[in-house]
């Protein structure tokens, strides 16, 4: 039986890079992979973009209302038709934006279809609150692996601070994808509490 893996970390912990490396490793062994991401992630349009400059198109994008099993099944059929061999792995970026039902479907892909699922994402938003998809993954994933990065002070970063026009903010909508004025910084607990005035939102 294949497994559902959740590899999580704060911003800038190399999640997209690790995903693209995993895809490369499979394909180097002549195995097919499918790459997916939620449509909430608008960086790179229909591609996964690593901070190191590596970009790769996804095979399908998932909207919050999509039946993930249906979308996956269609993409799998297309891959089999194009290559003559089945999919060896499903890799998902920004999985925290999936709904709990879609995360359950990732588990079904692994268990019922016997295809490993490597899901990458962050666990909490800029207010230290869990994303629904990440929370469900902590409940059902076979394997949890933290990808680590460091805070500006050198300690392990745990949280994702949001900055608007260079100033830290601690309230607002959960999702605000990077733009001209919105950026994120990985912080350790001490630095996060220092910037928030000791408040965990």
Mean pLDDT, rounded, for 164-179? 80
CA atoms of 89 and 106, how far apart (whole Å): 11
pTM: 0.93
Question: Would you please indicate which residues are annotated as catalytic (active-site) residues?
Answer: 94
CA atoms of 23 and 58, how far apart (whole Å): 11
Tokens representing 4? 């559902």
- Quick check: 186 pLDDT over 90? yes
Q: Which residue has the higher pLDDT, 58 or 43?
A: 58
CA atoms of 54 and 38, how far apart (whole Å): 19
Q: What is the pLDDT of residue 180?
A: 56
Q: What is the pLDDT of residue 174?
A: 82
Mean pLDDT, rounded, for 65-82? 96
Q: Is 162 left (phi over 0), alpha (psi -120 to 50) or beta?
A: beta
For strands 143-146 and 4-8, give the pairing.
Answer: parallel
CA atoms of 57 and 20, how far apart (whole Å): 10
Lowest mean pLDDT among 4-13, 48-57, 102-111, 174-183: 174-183
pLDDT 10s digits, 99-145:
999 999 999 999 999 999 999 999 999 999 999 999 999 999 999 99
Q: How confident is the model at residue 44 (pLDDT cuts 50, 70, 90)?
A: low
CA atoms of 135 and 20, how far apart (whole Å): 24
Sign of CA dihedral 143, 57, 44, 46: negative
Q: Is 166 left (phi over 0), alpha (psi -120 to 50) or beta?
A: left
Mean pLDDT, rounded, for 64-89? 95
Q: What is the pLDDT of residue 40?
A: 85
> What's the burial of 140, exposed, middle or buried (CB within 10 Å: 0-12/13-18/19+)?
middle
Mean pLDDT, rounded, for 83-110? 97
């Amino acid at each position: 039986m294949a497994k559902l893996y959740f590899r999580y970390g704060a911003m800038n912990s190399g999640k997209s890079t690790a995903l693209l490396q995993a895809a490369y490793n499979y394909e180097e062994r002549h195995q097919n992979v499918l790459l997916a991401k939620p449509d909430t992630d608008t960086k790179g349009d229909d591609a996964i973009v690593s901070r190191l400059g590596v970009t790769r198109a996804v095979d399908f994008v998932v909207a919050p209302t999509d039946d993930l099993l249906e979308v996956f099944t269609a993409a799998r059929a297309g891959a089999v038709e194009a290559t003559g061999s089945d999919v060896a792995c499903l890799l998902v970026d920004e999985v925290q934006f999936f709904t709990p039902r879609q995360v359950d479907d990732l588990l079904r892909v692994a268990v019922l279809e016997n295809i490993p699922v490597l899901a990458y994402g962050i666990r909490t938003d800029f207010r230290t609150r869990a994303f629904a998809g990440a929370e469900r993954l902590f409940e059902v994933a076979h394997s949890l692996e933290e990808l680590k990065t460091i805070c500006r002070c050198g300690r392990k970063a745990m949280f994702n601070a949001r900055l608007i026009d260079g100033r830290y903010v601690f309230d607002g909508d959960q999702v605000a994808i990077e733009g001209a004025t919105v950026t994120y910084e990985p912080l350790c607990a001490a630095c996060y509490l220092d910037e928030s005035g000791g408040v965990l939102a």
